[in-house]
Structure 1
Amino acid sequence: MICAQQPRTRLVHLPTPLEAAPRLSDALGVDLWIKREDLAGLCVGGNKSRLLEFVLGSLRTTGVDTLIAHAARQSNKLRDIAAAAARCGMQAVLLIPADDEADHEAPQGNRLLFDILGADVRVVPAGLDHGAVLALQEDVRAELAARGRRPAILDRALDYGVDATIAYVDAAEELVGQFAALGGAPHSVFIAVGAGMTVAGLALGLKHLGAPTQVVGVCVAGTAADLDATIRHHAARAAERLGIATQLEAGDVVLVDDYAATGYGVLTPALTAVIHRFAREHGVVLDPVYNAKVALALTERAAVGQVPAGAKVVMFNTGGTPAIYQYAAGLAGTLE
């Protein structure tokens, strides 16, 4: 196994289910399978649950007792960090951007879960660039260390980014094994792209294993040009840690940024329609921020023949269901 020598803390139920979707397959004209990372089992599941096994595996060998992270107010990453910290007897310190309106409302979705999970939630200035975020996290780390804690910062620029990428090298090996048991390999895999570690690990793992599978990354923000370099950087760092020669090259991940232009987390009529479709034809609820965009890209590419008819296709459902409740007005208002 590629990642067998990496330290790991067991947090989730693996392998996550690989689920056939016959009604959607008939409608789309492809053989669709859904990789249910949302059923990983830590809190409400998702791709961050899997990667935290490797992140905490590394950190627990150093005696860390406090996890510091910054992300959006409805961040799946922050929710799972809080859950993993609770599971392992650690403290989570979560830094979220200020929002004048939301700061005076009862918390919902993941923001509510931060509190339920016992995290120390701190509201910080909005609109900070990544350098400022790193500096802010370092200030918090120094404060906590001065009080006798042993804190670590979980940020993509640090070891967290390497561990997160490695987790999806492991997921690639898991997926190849699941399809081997079924007697084949998928033509393509569709997955959301945010910071880029998940897709980097998945593509690196599939390439290293020689899988004949195209990786299609659906960008939720940013441009394909910028993200391609970022993804290859994450993959190179992971390959170095793993001691493998495989490297991602430009074009190894087909990046689709058509759906990023509408804005991060913006609910559109097309996203609403695809959320309803997947719910009513497979009983799976997709979040509007990540997975609905993946489903929409898959649906539209299949409709115009960019996915061959009858091809085996995997859609990774990377979780994020708590975010759905933030969109109640938009989603409920269109129900038939």
Structure 2
Amino acid sequence: MLGVDLLIKREDLAGLCVGGNKARLLEFALGSLRAKGVDTLIAHAAAQSNKLRDIAAAAARFGMRAVLLIPASRGATETLPPQGNRLLFDILGADVRLVAPNFDAASIMISQEEVRDEMAREGRRPAILDRRLEYGADATIAYVDAAEELLGQLAASGKKPHSLFIAAGAGMTAAGLALGLKHLRSPMRVMAVSTSGRARDLAPDIEQHAARAAERLGLTTRLSSGDFTLIDEYAASGYGVLTPALADAMRLFARAHGMVIDPVYNAKVACALVDKVADGRILRGATVVYVNTGGGPAIYDYSDALSADPVDVGVNNDVAALPSRRNT
């Protein structure tokens, strides 16, 4: 299909609820919080984020309460039958609260702290899961661990990839993988496809996430902007905006591989892969890893855009799947 030897790391099959990279990001964070007696998880993110869905699922799995703060959007959306993650939040029993849209970082933290204080007054032991707090380092560490796992899988397969493509929102997943690969002296380059932010803004965040994780792990390895590539040309449409090109990329992967990718994150990675091969920056025949970070439930919120204008996917190529450890 793409003219490359494509290896897909299936984080969408991580095993918690309907999968996604946040299941792995939560692994060490949740272990630490449970050891401290935390019984309530508080987080803010977009309604269709993997983060909120997997927090709701983890809370249900371990008998905790999840309070999810979601920006209100699209007018009266909340009065419609729930779709995608909103339906799953209801099924999982999460406490969902709408907050004002377009909050800045300080306002988001204030809203989370207000809920934390409310839960504490009720006698609960709450914790905020925010990348600027301890959660950010724990989450990044999980993908340092994933880098070692991935290299083991590649060694067993005999494959030597040229590069690794992954979506980058907050940047913790990309930071952990880039740090882990550099520490383990892998030549594979992380190609992080921004979902909404500019490269000049996201790069320092990735470096900071990696530095905090390295410090926690006692590593001397540090990331600089030269250790990974940020691709931000697909972020211009905005977070969660499905363009015709993104919809075509989703159909392409679905009809060539039987794999449904989400419209918010992975569709942009798919577009980047197609374009980089087409313009010669990824050579035809090269071995490339694509990390599918999940998010499939979001497609049901985009039914109108995805139900028309099919594309010709051409001839399928051989694709190997690298399972998530969480699915083994």
Report if TM-score (shorter chain) is over 0.5. Answer: yes
Aligned equivalents of 2:261, 2:194: Cα separation in 1:
16
Aligned with 1:212: secondary structure? coil
Say whether 1:96 aligns with 2:81: no
Please identify, of 95-104 and 256-265, the stretch whose mean Cα deviation from structure 2 is larger: 95-104
Q: How far does residue 95 in structure 1 lie from its aligned partner after superposition?
A: 0.8
How many correspondences in the alignment? 310
Aligned equivalents of 1:126, 1:272: Cα separation in 2:
25
Cα deviation digits, residues 147-184 of structure 1 (max 9, x gap):
11000000010011111101110111110000011124
Say whether 1:244 aligns with 2:253: no
Greater RCO, CA 8 A, separation 6+: 2
Alignment of 1:138-217 (within 5 A): 138-217=113-192
Two-structure CA RMSD over aligned residues (Å): 1.0
Aligned equivalents of 2:305, 2:157: Cα separation in 1:
40
Q: How far does residue 135 in structure 1 lie from its aligned partner after superposition?
A: 1.1
Counterpart pick for 1:48 among 17, 22, 27: 22
Give the TM-score normalised by structure 1.
0.90
Q: Could you tell me which residue of structure 2 aligns to residue 334 of structure 1?
A: 309
* 8 Å Cα contact 1:94/1:119 also seen in 2: yes
Give the TM-score normalised by structure 2.
0.93
* 8 Å Cα contact 2:167/2:268 also seen in 1: yes
Cα deviation digits, residues 27-64 of structure 1 (max 9, x gap):
32211111000001100000001111111011111000
Q: How far does residue 335 in structure 1 lie from its aligned partner after superposition?
A: 3.4
Aligned equivalents of 1:205, 1:245: Cα separation in 2:
12
Aligned with 1:28: secondary structure? coil
Please identify, of 138-147 and 97-106, the stretch whose mean Cα deviation from structure 2 is larger: 97-106
Say whether 1:126 aligns with 2:101: yes
* 1:91 partner amino acid: R
* 8 Å Cα contact 1:66/1:90 also seen in 2: yes
Q: How far does residue 123 in structure 1 lie from its aligned partner after superposition?
A: 1.3
* 1:147 partner amino acid: E
Aligned equivalents of 1:184, 1:287: Cα separation in 2:
27
Aligned with 1:121: secondary structure? strand
Cα deviation digits, residues 68-114 of structure 1 (max 9, x gap):
01111222110100000011110101111123321221111001111
* 8 Å Cα contact 1:185/1:212 also seen in 2: no
Please identify, of 266-275 and 311-320, the stretch whose mean Cα deviation from structure 2 is larger: 266-275
Cα deviation digits, residues 173-226 of structure 1 (max 9, x gap):
110000011124311000000001000000000000000101100000110011
Say whether 1:310 aligns with 2:265: no
Aligned equivalents of 2:308, 2:156: Cα separation in 1:
43
Aligned equivalents of 1:35, 1:105: Cα separation in 2:
35
Aligned with 1:68: secondary structure? strand
Aligned equivalents of 1:310, 1:237: Cα separation in 2:
37
Aligned with 2:164: secondary structure? strand
* 8 Å Cα contact 2:248/2:310 also seen in 1: no
* 8 Å Cα contact 2:42/2:128 also seen in 1: yes
Say whether 1:290 aligns with 2:270: no
Q: Could you tell me which residue of structure 2 aligns to residue 85 of structure 1?
A: 59
* 1:75 partner amino acid: S
Counterpart pick for 2:49 among 75, 94, 99: 75
Say whether 1:268 aligns with 2:243: yes
Q: How far does residue 308 in structure 1 lie from its aligned partner after superposition?
A: 2.1
Runs of 4+ in structure 1 over 6 Å off:
none
Q: Could you tell me which residue of structure 2 aligns to residue 222 of structure 1?
A: 197
Counterpart pick for 1:37 among 1, 11, 15: 11
